[in-house]
Amino acid sequence: MADIEKVEYKPISVRDLLIEVKDISELMIDLAYSAALFDNEELAEEVMDLEKQVKTLTYLINMNAMLAARDAEDAEALVGVPMVASSAEKISDAAADIATIVLKDIRIHPIIRDVFRKVEEQLARIKIESISFLISKRIDELKLAAEIGVNILAIRRGKRWILDPEDEEIIQEEDILIVRGTQKGIEELGKAAKGKLKEL
Amino acid sequence: MADIEKVEYKPISVRDLLIEVKDISELMIDLAYSAALFDNEELAEEVMDLEKQVKTLTYLINMNAMLAARDAEDAEALVGVPMVASSAEKISDAAADIATIVLKDIRIHPIIRDVFRKVEEQLARIKIESISFLISKRIDELKLAAEIGVNILAIRRGKRWILDPEDEEIIQEEDILIVRGTQKGIEELGKAAKGKLKEL
């Protein structure tokens, strides 16, 4: 817990916080297994970052639940909330354990590589470099799904995570995109992010 | 562990088993939080059933990894696999903890109900009764997404789970559908499953 910044109280509905922690948990599992299956350390690093987000969210959930309880009846009505928050942390820790296996170079992948691997969708992390034409574009404008078969699952912007970004979201320099798509599509988007492609 | 049936060895690729356990984990988290947010015991029960599936899968993963290791080099190459399996069980246990909170009637939902709730998609469990017109229909034939805004995430058929079923999958009597959709769409599908609607 030593690596956690002090979390300041913000009034947010517990429900919205629980939905956010659920979405992050699902993304973490997706990323952690993909990191393990494809021996991808970049994805594993994002899992570790999301683990910190979950810790912050569980603090906020607990604080908001406590402040919502003004009498015994409220407390009874809210007692399940910190229990869910605690389970959320366990899920996040277990996903981080999988990521740690990948980051410590413990091997999982050889047998996996050996089996027949059909071309299928993968996850990847793509960083938007300063010379990329993607900068200042709206997500829907790029038609990534139609053009190259890639979907943006999340954007990390500095310390902030945007899960399942809206169509109107505008891509910024230094954004880290977490994407799902075919290998070919991911390669193209990677080139566009590095400024090596001027259109998709 | 007393409630686990003996798991017989089946030769399945560890990679396929890991992908299945990942998909089940994501579904469990989705179901567990939905159970908590909407105080839905049916969804919580399905989480408990999936927990058993994960236990069986982790046995199979460990057995297949052991049998794949014939020398020290193999063993080194495979050592991460049981570690991932163990994390998979932790994730599954934590999702089951959330489901248990719901099943024990520990309250989480009052504050959640109090906040402004926009109409949004929910998860639900729908059982196909013997008089339903849905029986013997292919999933794609029903055009559920287009007609009523509902998607089938999984089908439980007796003890077997079919995750993310194919378009060609045929709905059978007694199938348990796990669906995501608008409240209205879910209600309609529920009526169709009970034989109270003859078309969608």
- Whether the predicted pLDDT of B119 surpasses 90: no
- Report the pLDDT value the prediction gives residue B194, as an integer from 0 to 100: 97
Share of chain A above pLDDT 70, in %: 92
Strand partners, A122: A181
Distances (CA, A) of A17 to A55, B93, B168: 12, 21, 38
The SS3 call for residue A116 is: coil
Among all chains, which residue has been given the structure tokens 């139609």? A146
Q: Are residues B41 and B129 in the same domain?
A: no
B181: enclosing H helix or E strand: strand B176-181
Give the Cα separation of B189 and A197 in Å (integer).
47
Q: Are residues B57 and B102 in the same domain?
A: yes
Compute and round to an integer the Cα radius of gyration of chain B.
19
Strand partners, A161: A156
Residue B55, domain member (yes or no) = yes
Domain end, chosen from B54, B77, B110, is at B110
Domain end, chosen from A52, A75, A110, is at A110
Give the Cα separation of B65 and B79 in Å (integer).
8
CB A101 to CB B80 under 8 A? yes
- Kindly report the CATH number assigned to the domain that includes residue A149: 3.30.70.1450
Q: Are residues B140 and B174 in the same domain?
A: yes
CB B110 to CB A77 under 8 A? yes
Residue B9, domain member (yes or no) = no
- Whether the predicted pLDDT of A111 surpasses 60: no
Residue in A closest to B91 by C-alpha: A91
Q: Are residues A46 and A98 in the same domain?
A: yes
Which residues does chain A have within 8 Å of residue B13's beta carbon, measured at their own beta carbons? 111-112, 115
CB B115 to CB A16 under 8 A? yes
Q: Which amino acid is at B15?
A: R
- Whether the predicted pLDDT of B5 surpasses 60: yes
* Min Cα separation B33/chain A (Å): 7
CB B111 to CB A77 under 8 A? yes
Q: Could you tell me if A43 and B22 are in contact, meaning their C-beta atoms sit under 8 angstroms apart?
A: no
Handedness of CA A154, A156, A161, A166 (dihedral sign): negative
Give the Cα separation of A37 and B59 in Å (integer).
19
Q: Which residues, in sequence order, are CB contacts of B59 under 8 Å at separation 6+?
A: B4, B7
Residue B148, domain member (yes or no) = yes
Q: Are residues B138 and B187 in the same domain?
A: yes
Compute and round to an integer the Cα radius of gyration of chain A.
19
- Report the pLDDT value the prediction gives residue B192, as an integer from 0 to 100: 97
Q: Which residues of B touch chain A, with CB atoms under 8 Å apart?
A: 13-16, 18-19, 22, 25-26, 29-30, 32-33, 36-37, 65, 68, 76-81, 83-84, 86-88, 90-91, 93-95, 97-98, 101-102, 106-108, 110-112, 115, 117
Residue A3, domain member (yes or no) = no
Question: Where residue A2 falls among pLDDT bands split at 50, 70, 90?
Answer: very low
* Min Cα separation A129/chain B (Å): 32
Q: Are residues A42 and A93 in the same domain?
A: yes
Reported ipTM: the value is 0.83
Question: Where residue B2 falls among pLDDT bands split at 50, 70, 90?
Answer: very low
Selected residue of B33, B50, B93, B117 to mutate for chain A interface (largest A Cβ count, 10 A): B33
- Whether the predicted pLDDT of B116 surpasses 50: no
- Whether the predicted pLDDT of A1 surpasses 50: no
CB A93 to CB B98 under 8 A? no
Query: Per the structure, how many domains does chain A have?
Result: 2
Residue A98, domain member (yes or no) = yes
Selected residue of B16, B20, B112 to mutate for chain A interface (largest A Cβ count, 10 A): B112
- Report the pLDDT value the prediction gives residue A99, as an integer from 0 to 100: 96
Residue A71, domain member (yes or no) = yes
Domain end, chosen from A79, A110, A141, is at A110
Selected residue of A108, A113, A117 to mutate for chain B interface (largest B Cβ count, 10 A): A108
Q: Are residues B100 and B143 in the same domain?
A: no
* Min Cα separation A195/chain B (Å): 34
CB A78 to CB B111 under 8 A? yes
Q: Could you tell me if A92 and A47 are in contact, meaning their C-beta atoms sit under 8 angstroms apart?
A: no
Q: Are residues B19 and B84 in the same domain?
A: yes
What crossing angle do the helices spanning B80-103 and B41-68 adopt, rounded to 10°?
170
Mean pLDDT of B75-79: 85
CB B37 to CB A25 under 8 A? no
Which residues does chain B have within 8 Å of residue A107's beta carbon, measured at their own beta carbons? 76-80
Q: Among partner residues A88, A101, A117, which is closest to B84 by beta-carbon distance?
A: A101
CB A78 to CB B25 under 8 A? no
Q: Are residues A105 and A69 in the same domain?
A: yes
- Report the pLDDT value the prediction gives residue B3, as an integer from 0 to 100: 53
Give the Cα separation of B64 and B26 in Å (integer).
23
Full domain range(s) for residue B41: 14-110
Which residues does chain A have within 8 Å of residue B37's beta carbon, measured at their own beta carbons? 15, 18-19
- Report the pLDDT value the prediction gives residue A39, as an integer from 0 to 100: 86
Distances (CA, A) of A94 to A27, A32, A37, A103, A184: 13, 9, 16, 14, 31
Distances (CA, A) of B51 to A7, A114, A186: 33, 29, 34
Q: Are residues B47 and B104 in the same domain?
A: yes
Residue A9, domain member (yes or no) = no
Q: Among partner residues A13, A30, A102, which is closest to B26 by beta-carbon distance?
A: A30
A176: enclosing H helix or E strand: strand A176-181
Mean pLDDT of A64-87: 88
pLDDT tens, position by position, A119-171: 578 899 999 999 999 999 999 999 999 999 999 999 999 989 999 999 999 99
Q: Which amino acid is at A95?
A: A
- Report the pLDDT value the prediction gives residue A110, as an integer from 0 to 100: 62
Mean pLDDT of A185-189: 95
- Whether the predicted pLDDT of A52 surpasses 90: yes
The average confidence (pLDDT) of chain B is 89
- Report the pLDDT value the prediction gives residue A153, as an integer from 0 to 100: 95
- Report the pLDDT value the prediction gives residue B115, as an integer from 0 to 100: 47
Which residues does chain A have within 8 Å of residue B94's beta carbon, measured at their own beta carbons? 87-88, 90-91, 94
Q: Are residues A35 and A103 in the same domain?
A: yes
Among all chains, which residue has been given the structure tokens 């997404």? B145
How many Cα atoms within 13 Å fall on the side-chain side of residue B157? 11
Residue A6, domain member (yes or no) = no
- Report the pLDDT value the prediction gives residue B182, as an integer from 0 to 100: 87
Least confident range of A108-122, B4-18, B69-83, B158-172: A108-122
* Min Cα separation B170/chain A (Å): 25
- Report the pLDDT value the prediction gives residue B174, as an integer from 0 to 100: 97
Most confident by average pLDDT, B4-8, B9-13, B53-57: B53-57
The SS3 call for residue B131 is: coil
The average confidence (pLDDT) of chain A is 89
Mean pLDDT of B149-167: 94
- Whether the predicted pLDDT of A93 surpasses 80: yes
Question: Where residue A9 falls among pLDDT bands split at 50, 70, 90?
Answer: confident
Question: Where residue B110 falls among pLDDT bands split at 50, 70, 90?
Answer: low
Phi, psi angles (nearest 5°) of residue A180: -120, 135
Q: Are residues B91 and B167 in the same domain?
A: no
- Report the pLDDT value the prediction gives residue A106, as an integer from 0 to 100: 87
pLDDT tens, position by position, B163-195: 999 999 999 999 999 999 988 999 999 999 999
- Kindly report the CATH number assigned to the domain that includes residue B31: 1.20.58.220
Sheet holding A150-157, edge to edge: A122-127, A176-181, A150-157, A160-163
- Report the pLDDT value the prediction gives residue B107, as an integer from 0 to 100: 78
Report DSSP letters for B2-38, one per residue: TTPPPPPP----HHHHHHHHHHHHHHHHHHHHHHHHH
